């Protein structure tokens, strides 16, 4: 019977998909409860994290985004760009996040939107 080889393939595929799902877990943190140095160290250690905080001018509005250590943690076609988040000891803690590159044509030179 040919059912058994198909079941084996399906089980192997299921196993690989479960491994891949676990590998994409990402930690979430509130940067306003950490020092700026702590935020930067956490991003550097984990490579990519989600930082969630509330705006000072509108505390009812939660803000969150994915912040990365370097471009290796960005999806294909995106680059690392400067960003700032509030922390316990700084209003603007410098970090990086991924964004689409901005292309400008000036003569024959292409400029990528890296900060």
Q: What is the tens place of the pLDDT at every residue in 24-44?
A: 678 899 999 999 999 999 999
List, for residues 46-92, the tens digit of each pLDDT value: 999 999 999 888 889 899 999 999 999 999 999 999 999 999 999 99
* 8 A C-beta contact, residue 53 and residue 63: yes
- The answer to whether residues 83 and 98 touch, using CB atoms and an 8 Å cutoff, is no
Helices then strands (H, E): number in the chain? 2, 7
Helix (H, G, I), strand (E, B) or coil at 69: coil
Contact call for residues 49 and 42 (beta carbons, < 8 A): yes
SS3 50: strand
Which tokens sit at 34? 């950490």
């Amino acid at each position: 019977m040919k059912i058994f080889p198909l079941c084996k393939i399906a089980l192997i595929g299921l196993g690989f998909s479960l491994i891949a799902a676990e590998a994409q877990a990402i930690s979430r943190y509130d940067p306003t409860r950490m020092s700026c140095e702590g935020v930067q160290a956490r991003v550097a250690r984990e490579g990519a994290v989600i930082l969630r905080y509330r705006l000072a001018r509108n505390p009812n509005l939660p803000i969150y985004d994915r912040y990365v250590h370097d471009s290796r943690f960005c999806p294909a076609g995106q680059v690392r760009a400067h960003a700032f988040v509030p922390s316990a000891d700084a209003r603007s803690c410098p970090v990086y996040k991924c964004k689409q590159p901005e292309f400008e044509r000036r003569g024959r030179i292409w400029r990528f939107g890296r900060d």
